[in-house]
Structure 1
Amino acid sequence: MRAVQVTGYGGIEQLQTVTKDVPIPKANEVLVKIKACAINNTEIWMREGAYGAGSASGWRPEGVQFPRIPGSDIAGTIVDIGDAVDSSMNGKDVVLFPFTSSGDDGSEHIANDMSFIGSEYDGGYAEYVVWPAELCFNMPLPDYTESAVFSVSGLTAWHMNEQLDIQPGETIMVTGANGGVGSLNVQIAANVFSAKVIAIVGDLRLADEMKALGATHVLSYRSDRLVDDIIDSNGGPIDSVLDVVGDPLFSTSLEALKKGGKFCISGSAGGQTTNLDFRTLYLKHITMYGSVLGRRDEYRRMLQAISDGQIKPVIDRTFPLEEAQDAQVYFKESGKLGKVVLLPNED
């Protein structure tokens, strides 16, 4: 099979197209012919070494073992099964829950041995992948490319929203609202949890598209009076923030929050460290949440919401597998709306 491997920490030159044997599923695994694999910050940061210090980077303390096939947002068809897998799985169109762990239901996402497809396991920048049968779920939509954009970004966004316990009518600010996680945060908060959403983007030419996803107001982070813009648009301070940007909008978020407000972060694309005056937290009684991925029960609820039409795929562009380097470069450009997807098996 054709695959794209990361050969070590560094730039896009570390992404190399190779030919490998098709993997053979173990007793409890299935072989998936990959039809689409969406790109996430996760595999770029893994390649760049952003998850660890020095040479160690990954979801596990020992770091990534190279070479590694990245990619975790996967949709495809089961074409072979292990001896212990029910024969009814063969031929199913599936999406892959993106990690394994020994954690009990409800705590699998915080288990110490959480291992991620595309980091600790070979992933979706390939024509085939093996994965545990119990972590393969029916595709929520009939289209492979559309179904592939939810597993990581969608689960991340869904868990963020559930952690905030959003109530109907609350006002939620979403940063990075035109990105993969951000555009799903807008949809989930507005269309599933019935919140009013203030979407923060760079380019206000995206306003109509953001409102079509469910945003009530669309503001630009380039404004030199953004805090006032947020408070004015809402008629007062906001209830909660869903953040994937990090440092650039951190102080703005805390200023715009009401007393007793909530702040949830699951990414730091704009900066991984910040200055914090603790008085802001305790004088305003702000609750802060760190969030990564989510649980299997949340994944099931998300897939149902997608099937029900409450959450729609937002896709900016697709690339063939061989153009993975170009796709990752394009992914990091600003001004996109939605996901970038690799297509390993274009028939």
Structure 2
Amino acid sequence: MMPRTMSAVLLTGHGDFDVLDYRSDVPVPEPKPGEVLIRVAAAGINNTDINTRIGWYSKKVDAATEQGGASGFAQVDDKDASWSGVPLQFPRIQGADVCGHVVAVGAGVDPARIGERVIVRNMLRSYVDYRPYECWTLGSEIDGGFAQFTVAPSRETHAVRCDWTDAELASIPCAYSTAENMLHRAGVGAERVLVTGASGGVGSAAVQLAKRRGAEVIAVCAAAKAGEVRALGADRTVDRRADLVAELGRNSIDVVVDIVAGPVWPQLLEVLRLGGRYACAGAIAGPITELDLRTLYLKDLTLYGCTFQEDAVFENLVRYIEAGEIRPVVAKTYPLAEIARAQCDFLSKSRTGKLVLIPPQVNA
């Protein structure tokens, strides 16, 4: 029998860890036409969860994520502090990564889907009628996976057949789709690729996915994590504090896959070859950078901002999983109630791979 209430973490506003309210009396959502109800088995933690909580997407914020990750920011404009630029509706259940089992379906959905183990595309297109370059983010514009149950569009909920753990599957949606999208948009093939933030969720995914495409991967990470990153497939690692131009040389890289930005950003364009490509899907070291336009046009560079994802991106990931071509690294799991501790550990950047929340399990 389906319970009427569930445990969930409610985001009550923008701010520090105090705005995360763990409750056990939250109504279980009901699937609308075209939706499925999922019993959540695991939910990964991502930068976007923290960025949304602290209001980092607001243009009033110009600092690195870690500077406000625990305490929030004093200056946040609630009107533009979300992915879409539309004010967030509180309370909101965050969580862009969902792995679980379908336990009920809405009108128009085949009941045969009940029982499937699934992951959900985090960049949802159903709610914006599949218009190009528009999407809702699971856990931002709609409630997500930091709960025992969640709903999602059936057409964007993918059954996956593999021997992975739930925590491993929950590591895929946000980080791996972000990484695959950058590689897809930049058309990465058997060439020389530089990946920043290579020990984190997106960075470690980019290393594996670029190697899958036949690339030579140079990974930027902390020296202490170099061995772990090489184990993921990186051909070479460079310390994140190093002078990239001195280490790699100018015009030595075909593609830069970047989620860090910050003060080192101009060096990323310097190491790109003539006609090189730069793909960006984050700026955890700071969103404000300096661009010498002469570097851009004299080197015939192409810059890709990567948020919107074509359908093929997530479909490719499911195919890679089922073919055994990729496998994520799960650094640690936590009970859902310990979300603040998990986010604190995430911000410390002390572990390689994904941190995953496990909600209390119920029979449904």
Band the TM-score falls in, shorter-chain normalisation: over 0.9
1:38/1:342 contact within 8 Å kept:
yes
Aligned ranges 1:62-101 → 2 under 5 Å: 62-101=86-125
1:337 aligns to what?
A: 352
Which of 43, 47, 53 matches 2:49?
Answer: 43
1:231 corresponds to 2:249: yes
Match of 1:208 in 2: 227
Superposition deviation, residue 298 in structure 1? 1.5
Secondary structure of 2:249's aligned partner: helix
CA contact 1:72–1:124 (8 Å) conserved in 2: yes
Match of 1:196 in 2: 216
Task: Answer whether contact 2:277 2:302 (CA < 8 A) is retained.
Answer: yes
Whether 1:15 aligns to 2:36 is no
Aligned counterparts, 1:302-341, within 5 A: 302-341=317-356
- Structure 1: segments with no counterpart, 5+ residues: none
Q: Which of 179, 183, 189 matches 2:204? A: 183
2:129 and 2:136 map into 1 onto residues whose CA distance is: 15
**Counterparts of 2:129 and 2:312 in 1: how far apart (Å)?**
12
Pairing of 1:291-302 with structure 2 (within 5 A): 291-302=306-317
Equivalent residues of 2:218, 2:236 under 8 A apart: yes
Is 1:245 equivalent to 2:260 in the alignment?
Answer: yes
Question: Residue in 1 aligned with 2:78?
Answer: 55
- Cα deviation 1:246-276 (Å, max 9, x = unaligned): 1232112111111111111100000010111
1:209-237 CA distance string (max 9 Å, x none): 212211110110222x33221239xxx61
Structure 1 contact 159–294 (Cα < 8 Å) conserved: yes
Q: Determine if the alignment matches structure 1 residue 162 to structure 2 residue 184.
A: yes
Secondary structure of the corresponding residue to residue 332 of structure 1:
helix
Query: Which amino acid is the alignment partner of residue 201 of structure 1?
Result: C
Q: CA deviation at 1:132?
A: 1.4
> Using the alignment, how far apart are the partners of 1:335 and 1:226 within structure 2?
23
Structure 1 stretches of 4+ with a deviation exceeding 3 A read: 102-105
CA contact (8 A) 1:198 1:230 kept: no
Matched with 1:135 is 156
Report deviation, 1:140. 5.0
Q: Secondary structure at the match of 1:250?
A: helix
Partner residue of 2:237 out of 200, 213, 218: 218
Q: For 2:348, give the aligned amino acid.
A: E
Uncovered stretches (5+) of structure 2, i.e. residues with no partner? 1-5, 60-76
Is the Cα contact below 8 Å between 2:183 and 2:210 reproduced in 1?
Answer: yes
- Between the aligned partners of 1:238 and 1:38, the Cα distance in structure 2 is 32
For residues 211 and 360 of structure 2, the distance between their equivalents in structure 1, rounded to whole angstroms, comes to 35
Q: Partner of 1:73: helix, strand, or coil?
A: coil
2:122 & 2:269 partners in 1: Cα distance? 32
Q: Aligned match of 1:153 in 155, 175, 198? A: 175
* 8 Å contact from structure 2 (residues 45, 343) kept in 1: yes
* Matched residues, number: 336
Which secondary structure state, in structure 2, belongs to the residue aligned with residue 181 of structure 1? helix
Amino acid at match of 2:275: G
Amino acid at match of 2:225: L
Give CA-to-partner distance per residue, 1:66-109, whole Å, 9 cap, x none. Answer: 0101001100011111232101101111001123336676x64x
Distance in 2 of aligned mates of 1:246 and 1:122: 29
Tell me the distance in 1 between the aligned counterparts of 2:88 and 2:20. Answer: 14
- Cα contact 2:40–2:147 (8 A) shared by 1: yes
Kindly state the Cα deviation for residue 346 of structure 1 after the two structures are TM-superposed. Answer: 4.6
Q: Is the 8 A contact 1:315 1:338 kept in 2?
A: yes
- TM-score w.r.t. length of structure 2: 0.88
The CA deviation at 1:293 is 4.8
Instruction: Choose 57-66 or 260-269, whichever is displaced more.
Output: 57-66
Q: In 2, are the aligned partners of 1:189 and 1:195 still within 8 Å (CA)? A: yes
Instruction: Give the CA deviation at 1:306.
Output: 1.9
TM-score, normalised via structure 1 length: 0.92
The answer on whether the counterparts of 1:178 and 1:335 sit within 8 Å (CA) in structure 2 is no
- What is the SS of the residue equivalent to 1:159? helix
RMSD, matched Cα: 1.7
